[in-house]
Amino acid sequence: MNAVIPIQQAGGCTDAPVLMERGQREVFCGLTGIIWLHRKMQDAFFLVVGSRTCAHLIQSAAGVMIFAEPRFATAILDERDLAGLADAQDELDRVVKRLLERRPDIRLLFLVGSCPSEVIKLDLSRAAARLSQEFMPQVRVLNYSGSGIETTFTQGEDACLAALVPVLPISTQRLEPELLIVGALADVVEDQFSRLFTAMGGQRFAFFPSRSSTALPAVGPQTRFLLAQPFLGDTAKALESRGATRVAAPFPLGAEGSAAWMQAAGAAMGVPAEVVEQAIAPARQRAEAALAAHRVSLAGKSIFFFPDSQLEVPLARFLARELGMQLTEVGSPYLHRQHLAEELAWLPAGTQLSEGQDVEKQLDRCRAAAPDMVVCGLGLANPLEAEGFTTKWSIELVFTPIQGFEQAGDLAGLFTRPLTRRTLLAA
């Protein structure tokens, strides 16, 4: 099949040097992951044990509707807790009991650690074990850390899913391989992937996290898992400790990435490559046609990635190979070479890679490069816009469904719109 989009082939960055930086960072904390996780896991509740600042952050990020009752809240640590004048464990027990009385629909409760709870050494794992014993089987209680002291915002999902892995059922399958898609996906994307797997003849597949905590997927030695997100290092390690095997693949961004990811999924389920290609051909053609329109605006434009979400390398590959953009620097909070091996091999040779951040030095490099577009966090976007740069919020690329063939044009549109806006403002 001839691709409508001319793929840019140029060397690769498998062994490319990486600029390592360890300085001041500009990132959101892992609590932000609750915003998409609480939408995905429909009977779960996320109770942040933190300060009023934590509560304001989540409320602001979520944009909670007036008439909606969200499935997250904050157990506020006040001055008495921080000073050690109150028994924080007793206070937490009281809050949880009141919450479960008020919300009997909750089946899975996460106690989410924050910077304040970690500073006072509040043992949430002990609290989770005690509360789970009290409220099981009606409610399971788990804990993970969403603290931003050492992590970036997408690692909240990684920590959450890693906490869930030990309670996944044991797979009883001994012969047929089972495929587990790992990473929180929008329901519409999950449904599209399910239809394609079914069309290619795949039968034994599941998604993690599941939409219901009472229907968790089983895992065992026959399980093959395919990452849908590049920031799930701890989750992958936890699954491997349960005997599962990771399937190597690029990530499903764009027509090319989605096709390679689907081929890896098919191979893991024992489906011949030609059958997979036949099943995905119509969707791939639609994706390539959608991308062709955006390529006119983006080809030849330069782009600079600040480290924020860990999506930077797959996004850079997509923009360079399928849309013809020029990569000036691709920064990522963490560069997991094993999980990104296929992505790095597809990056144009000579691409400047950086890991970690020293924000002042990186700002200097960005100004010197004078890119046509900058992908960065909210804290940097407005100042850079004031300096005349065109920016794209990296957090929008996490909140928006961008995986798969049907979303390829939407993903490209997230990059064409800022340039169009800049042109209109200049006029």
**Binding site residue list for [4Fe-4S] cluster:** 29, 54, 115
Number of Cβ within 10 Å of residue 175's Cβ equals 5
Which residues does 427 contact at the CB level (< 8 Å), separation at least 6? none
Question: What is the SS3 assignment for 214?
Answer: helix
Rounded to an integer, what distance in angstroms lies between the CA atom of residue 54 and that of residue 73?
10
The encoded tokens of residue 313 equal 């390398």
Rounded to an integer, what distance in angstroms lies between the CA atom of residue 184 and that of residue 158?
10
Binding positions: 29, 54, 115
Query: Which has the closest alpha carbon to 40: 236, 189, 153, 171?
Result: 189
**46 in Cβ contact with 71 (< 8 Å):** yes
Instruction: Report which residue type is found at 213.
Output: S
Helices (H), 139-199: 155-164, 187-199
The encoded tokens of residue 366 equal 């960005």
Number of Cβ within 10 Å of residue 296's Cβ equals 10
Query: Which has the closest alpha carbon to 75: 92, 56, 60?
Result: 92
Sign of CA dihedral 276, 280, 284, 285: positive
Instruction: Report which residue type is found at 122.
Output: L
